Structure 1
């Protein structure tokens, strides 16, 4: 008899043992997807290892209920899942769930069987070839045949009776395909406009085809995916293109999964989750716009496509091409260390001179100074668009009393609550907690409540008063941006947060205003300067790219902050050199990895006990450990939290993961909630012996 260890998609840092029924014993291997019972409910999981059962066990294991009729995960997928778990400090089951497609039991009749066409002159051959399906001698999964051609179950039964098709059970074997050993490249490309990027992708596809390699292009969102897919299909009509993104229904996702597994494609374009499809034969991976937030998963596991894709090519081989505008500090570090080859000079880069202007004040008397109002008015007269970049959402940064100085703050996070005037509500910018403000001051009961700081709503309302009749739009989210048509003929004033710094909006605008420059300087995060620099450089890179007219950039700030402005307009080599020196001095990413272990509980003794246990488990020779100390004020429930800060070399990440998660799992009964924030760096460069 044998048992298996199954990883379940739960935030639990352990695997669970199950007995293997005799009737499915031959199907079970590491990577097999199975259905099991867990705490009274049925769940899909992945077999992590196969074990032998000791006869003297005092307890009886639950049995696996069934195997999913899907291809077992390949060895490289299992290894990759383990590395993603390490990178994100998620459980192994949560990482493996990325590779398991959404599955409905009603599909089992089709996904578990394979179809063969009896006659090559059959009309279905021609229909299938239109979709790029070939290799008919090997048959195909019945799910593909049924869904791709829209054939009903009744029609399939008729075809069987007429001996036009033969159906057999699928023999799911683990895919053992490996790319041929050779020297693979990791390259950084600095892109131009979206049209120039299309030409660059075309050249990469042509080069890959000349080498007999399939291509995977990972994109940050559906809109850019649609643009490239439509245009690449026009440029290369004989190439088999497939796409995969979150808009697909579960059934369409399964169809794409099966076609990719069978290899019925030459180029795959997809958004974040597409990288976890069974793309065994991919020889060239392309990551487009790595700094776009669309590449980051805001759900557990919190992976970033840049780091996950690097780990994949380190396991499987294949070329990696990263195409972006301005390299972030990690990519710049990789270029300096020889991890990436720079291909900046290989494409034409557009350049445009911007007129930089500074508007300062001793004490602000109005939301937008007269000089800025005049610049916007001139742009409207010239029928040009303007963008005003505001750091804060809401109406104001804080709401309080002008008599006693009281202001509303979050009881959990100890930060000022932002005021949303339209909804007449206060909201915490960290945890989202909502509070309805009183009409009078809660402290002194005075009537003089006032707002501090400018949020996007306040600037928007001010512009509506000053420029009545002008088209003014507010953009605080990606959804609001996607609904905007920037190609309208009338001039627009766009006021927005960083969501407004999109290529299409910038390219059709000629005036860019940074409102309250100082708001970005002192945010409580060590990466804030780097992110602020990237946003400014991205704005300068695309501003007015679609316009023949000159462009203007206006920086609005208080006199005392003028001295901080210049570095943010220096070239990357100059700005990043100083940043890297600081990071190396204090051993912060990207020179090393950094992990925050945050323990939350009302019981301070329990918090410190868990963190000290983590600290004691780690070898101080391999890790630099600071803490425990009180949680930072910007963390949720900061008053109830303590944290450790652990700095580590990439080579010991798996050791750190195993030790820390073992302590956390063992201490779950203490009632302490433990969260992780991981700042990854580049893995050690893999040397090529070829």
Structure 2
């Protein structure tokens, strides 16, 4: 008899411990089992198994209660290998999250403990001839049988060029075998492999050799301007790693970038590539994950969660656009992909490549210091020039009585681009039709009833939405405050801009790409392929179009409002603005024709905007690193954010003040800022206060945070919860 310690499926802090169950046979760590828990039957992971010589009665006497038996063993083999179980322990430790939530975030939904969605293997009917000469067949039957015999392999039933009636009769005569063969669902069947490898430039060659010559643990920064050929470095580095019988993990920050990266890798490595991202169907995810488990693939390409793929013998991990905030998980467990990538690279003793045209300040500082190895691609492929950038001061446009969203320069350049049969990309980082609805008579703004934010009007669906809690309602026609009917939309969203472009520009054909147009499976690929085929001459979208896209016919990029990210109350606001402007500018002029960019702003002299217009990362870095130094921000310190939330406003405020006092008394080497109301004070009916902590030595702080976490989250002794976020990427 054996005792198994099982983590049950509820990812709540009070149940964050293993529960003991009996089993007749030894089972492996990481296997899923069904167990009775209270009055329920739950699924959990086996944490450990130990043999016992005690009887059930003796165990009951020892524990004070009878141990129950495992009711079902779900898996033959563990879904998570020993390394990934260690990753779960590490993730739980660095995020103060329940271990079961860490295990769950590592698996596709089909494999998560409570998953009972019925997705399983897919089978297709195949037919194969049986070698027999004693058959009496009609001419047509004989022709069919001879055809199948000559193939000497099974063939899909629907591909046989003979009728179903003939095949049925042959099966009855046992002249053929009908087989159910498992087939994988493949979302990328139309990608054809290409032969040959491009000649690398000298800087590319140095980067590939520097990364792969010695496959030992190191962190490298590949810093290359937009269009400098970073992707080719990834591909040829992967080729060298595969030649040493190792595997490769290729990460991109957003699903929008996945199709293009998948295409590049599938063209070079074909079926050796598996793809993991959230827009695959459940069946496709299930199949891709099992292909990895069966060691049928050598490369995994995917977004953030792909870092948890059960890939073994890893020889290289690459993070494209390493600076991107999409790599940070904003719900529990709040991890940064870079931390997990570093852990796995150290485990496999392999290189981790962080790559970007606009590296994060922290990453570039480590490269400058020598902590990371630095490889640079300073010029575009074939010495193509960087695009010309024009900054338009929108205050001067208003002075000139131009109140349009489009400056005169923007309007002229965009129309010229269309007239020359080129393509353009327009960036507006706000989806929806308008920012909000407002009453002309009293000034009342329509807000979400659950959050302290305005509702965004979406004209195509004729609804108002909260982009924080997903509350949706019909547009109001009468002011709730003064009952006036003078309600009108204020501001611009991508839907409204699309409408304006089609009205105001000759021969404009627009593809809009934002969260609303890319909800459906395959929408990203469909829209990007349509633009690639030049079915439209303008790609309008939010920040998802700003990076990674490579279209030779794009000669113009327009940024409609560069100040949107600049004005956020966040110490990374300048950095994010610079990165966004550089990345989107880099989409222009990647083909034979010169690229042009127009940036509209009310802050034309700001160093982030000026540096971006000159494609000068070093100038921006030198300014920004001074600001970080004097303000004591990363990389000169580490940060933790505490969000105290609850439904009773007075209790939330009181407990926030108590927590701040406790931290100031017990985390003596840290700077505690706050508490203060969160930028969005009420979200989804929860009041929220925030405390920010800056520290260098976290020893005393970690103990204090663990005490707070134990009291408020695990023991639940208060009417508030405390969200603890290390290395926070949002201040809302």
Match among 398, 402, 416 for residue 378 of structure 1: 416
Tell me how far apart the structure 2 counterparts of residues 191 and 266 of structure 1 sit (CA, whole Å): 26
Q: Counterpart of 1:530?
A: 575
Alignment map for 1:576-655 (pairs within 5 Å):
576-608=621-653, 610-611=655-656, 614-615=659-660, 618=663, 619-633=666-680, 636=683, 640-649=687-696, 652=699, 655=703
Match among 80, 96, 119 for residue 87 of structure 2: 80
1:482 matches 2:525: yes
Q: Counterpart of 1:416?
A: 454
Q: Counterpart of 2:20?
A: 19
Displacement of 1:575:
1.4
Are the counterparts in 2 of residues 188 and 321 from structure 1 also a CA contact under 8 Å? yes
Tell me how far apart the structure 2 counterparts of residues 422 and 278 of structure 1 sit (CA, whole Å): 42
CA-based RMSD? 4.0
Match among 532, 539, 564 for residue 519 of structure 1: 564
Tell me how far apart the structure 2 counterparts of residues 361 and 87 of structure 1 sit (CA, whole Å): 50
Match among 325, 332, 353 for residue 321 of structure 1: 353
Q: Counterpart of 1:545?
A: 590
Displacement of 1:212:
4.7
Gaps of 5+ in 1: 111-125, 129-144, 151-180, 682-690
Q: Counterpart of 1:566?
A: 610
Give the 3 Å change call, closer, same or farther, for CA 380–7 of structure 1 in structure 2: same
Alignment map for 1:58-73 (pairs within 5 Å):
58-67=64-73, 68-71=75-78, 73=80
Gaps of 5+ in 2: 53-58, 122-151, 155-178, 185-213
**Which 10-residue stretch deviates more, 239-248 or 449-458?**
239-248
Q: Counterpart of 1:452?
A: 490
Q: Counterpart of 2:237?
A: 204
Q: Counterpart of 1:361?
A: 397
Tell me how far apart the structure 2 counterparts of residues 377 and 666 of structure 1 sit (CA, whole Å): 60
Q: TM-score, normalised by structure 1?
A: 0.77
Displacement of 1:8:
3.2
Q: Deviations over 1:115-168 (max 9, x none)?
A: xxxxxxxxxxx999xxxxxxxxxxxxxxxx996689xxxxxxxxxxxxxxxxxx
Are the counterparts in 1 of residues 250 and 301 from structure 2 also a CA contact under 8 Å? yes
Match among 427, 451, 454 for residue 389 of structure 1: 427
Q: TM-score, normalised by structure 2?
A: 0.73
Are the counterparts in 2 of residues 589 and 679 from structure 1 also a CA contact under 8 Å? no
Tell me how far apart the structure 2 counterparts of residues 584 and 32 of structure 1 sit (CA, whole Å): 48
Are the counterparts in 2 of residues 325 and 538 from structure 1 also a CA contact under 8 Å? yes
Residue aligned with 2:249, SS: strand
Match among 706, 724, 729 for residue 658 of structure 1: 706
**Which 10-residue stretch deviates more, 452-461 or 50-59?**
50-59
Q: Counterpart of 2:554?
A: 509
Are the counterparts in 2 of residues 86 and 654 from structure 1 also a CA contact under 8 Å? no
Q: Deviations over 1:536-560 (max 9, x none)?
A: 11122231212x22222112234x6
Tell me how far apart the structure 2 counterparts of residues 655 and 454 of structure 1 sit (CA, whole Å): 47
Match among 482, 490, 504 for residue 466 of structure 1: 504
Q: Counterpart of 1:134?
A: none
Q: Counterpart of 2:543?
A: 498
Displacement of 1:567:
4.0
Give the 3 Å change call, closer, same or farther, for CA 205–424 of structure 1 in structure 2: closer
Give the 3 Å change call, closer, same or farther, for CA 85–622 of structure 1 in structure 2: farther
Are the counterparts in 1 of residues 588 and 597 from structure 2 also a CA contact under 8 Å? no
Residue aligned with 1:284, SS: strand
1:92 matches 2:99: yes
Are the counterparts in 2 of residues 32 and 47 from structure 1 also a CA contact under 8 Å? yes
Give the 3 Å change call, closer, same or farther, for CA 611–40 of structure 1 in structure 2: farther
Give the 3 Å change call, closer, same or farther, for CA 6–608 of structure 1 in structure 2: farther
Q: How many residues align?
A: 613
Give the 3 Å change call, closer, same or farther, for CA 407–32 of structure 1 in structure 2: closer
Q: Counterpart of 1:431?
A: 469
Tell me how far apart the structure 1 counterparts of residues 284 and 538 of structure 2 sit (CA, whole Å): 40
Alignment map for 1:100-119 (pairs within 5 Å):
102-103=110-111
Q: Deviations over 1:422-459 (max 9, x none)?
A: 44433334333334443343333444333332222222
Residue aligned with 1:20, SS: strand
Residue aligned with 2:447, SS: coil
Match among 351, 360, 368 for residue 336 of structure 1: 368
Are the counterparts in 1 of residues 228 and 378 from structure 2 also a CA contact under 8 Å? no
Tell me how far apart the structure 2 counterparts of residues 336 and 357 of structure 1 sit (CA, whole Å): 31
Q: Counterpart of 2:175?
A: none
Give the 3 Å change call, closer, same or farther, for CA 635–241 of structure 1 in structure 2: same
**Which 10-residue stretch deviates more, 319-328 or 606-615?**
606-615
Give the 3 Å change call, closer, same or farther, for CA 463–223 of structure 1 in structure 2: same
